[in-house]
């Protein structure tokens, strides 16, 4: 929860600095956000590759466990597609790109902004990236605050699916407390697989 609020705070600060014109020219005129994106992609790979539990997880994978991230992916994309019927301003693929963040707000928002800029312009791309940022932050907050209710009314897998890509890190503690230690392995595996899908799915839908 605190981490999400910090991210929102930095986002608001950036908006204020950009709007008031206090940012140095070299920041606004350069491809700094592109290099930040490269750094984020490197950090994703480094975090996954350095996880000491990764080898054990790969050796312990059973085919049935893959149904959990598959349910998260398909359910999120299904409802992202349905919401596009209500939001006429954005296309089906724009809504799918936003949903494909799976609560990984930092990576998905930057990716969407960068990839959509050539086709819809800087202003519209920044707006869609902002929507992705807020939608995926809200998803993480809902997972953090609603995990006990999700587990009570929908079963132990519900908090894991709700957490999306965050179940290997930020929402893992609340999932462990709510669902028990038996679900830690499932949560970590789910987070890794969903995490890996984010750049591929976002890039795919942004290209449509």
Side-chain half-sphere CA neighbours of 27 within 13 A: 8
Dump pLDDT digits (tens) for 44-83.
566 666 666 666 666 666 778 889 999 999 999 999 999 9
Give me the pLDDT at residue 175, please.
87
pTM here is: 0.75
Give me the pLDDT at residue 208, please.
81
Residue 41 pLDDT > 80? no
Alpha helices of the chain — where are they, by DSSP H?
2-20, 25-28, 32-50, 54-59, 67-83, 92-99, 105-120, 122-154, 157-163, 172-179, 184-206
Give me the pLDDT at residue 27, please.
63
Dump pLDDT digits (tens) for 72-124.
999 999 999 999 999 888 999 999 999 999 998 888 888 899 899 999 898 99
Dump pLDDT digits (tens) for 161-185.
999 998 988 888 888 888 887 788 8
- Mean per-residue pLDDT over the chain, rounded: 83
- State the average pLDDT over residues 25-33: 62
Query: Is 144 exposed, middle or buried, given 0-12, 13-18 or 19+ CB atoms closer than 10 A?
Result: buried
Q: What residues contact 116, with CB distance under 8 A and at least 6 apart?
A: 94, 97, 124, 125, 128, 129, 206
Residue 12 pLDDT > 70? yes
Residue 155 pLDDT > 70? yes
What is the Cα–Cα distance from 93 to 91, expressed in whole angstroms? 5
């Amino acid at each position: 929860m605190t981490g999400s609020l910090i991210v929102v705070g930095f986002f608001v600060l950036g908006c204020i600095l950009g709007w008031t014109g206090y940012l140095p020219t070299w920041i606004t005129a350069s491809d700094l956000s592109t290099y930040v994106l490269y750094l984020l992609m490197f950090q994703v790979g480094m975090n996954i590759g350095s996880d000491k539990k990764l080898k054990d997880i790969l050796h312990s994978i059973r085919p049935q466990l893959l149904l959990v991230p598959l349910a998260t992916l398909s359910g999120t994309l299904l409802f992202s597609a349905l919401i596009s019927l209500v939001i006429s301003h954005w296309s089906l693929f724009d809504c799918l790109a936003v949903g494909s963040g799976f609560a990984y707000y930092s990576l998905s928002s930057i990716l969407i902004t960068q990839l959509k800029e050539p086709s819809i312009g800087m202003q519209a791309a920044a707006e869609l990236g902002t929507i992705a940022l807020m939608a995926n932050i809200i998803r993480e907050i809902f997972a953090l605050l609603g995990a006990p209710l999700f587990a009570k009314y929908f079963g132990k897998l519900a908090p894991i699916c709700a957490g999306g890509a965050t179940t290997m890190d930020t929402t893992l503690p609340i999932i462990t407390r709510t669902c028990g230690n038996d679900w830690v392995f499932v949560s970590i595996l789910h987070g890794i697989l969903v995490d890996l899908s984010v750049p591929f799915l976002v890039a795919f839908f942004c290209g449509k």
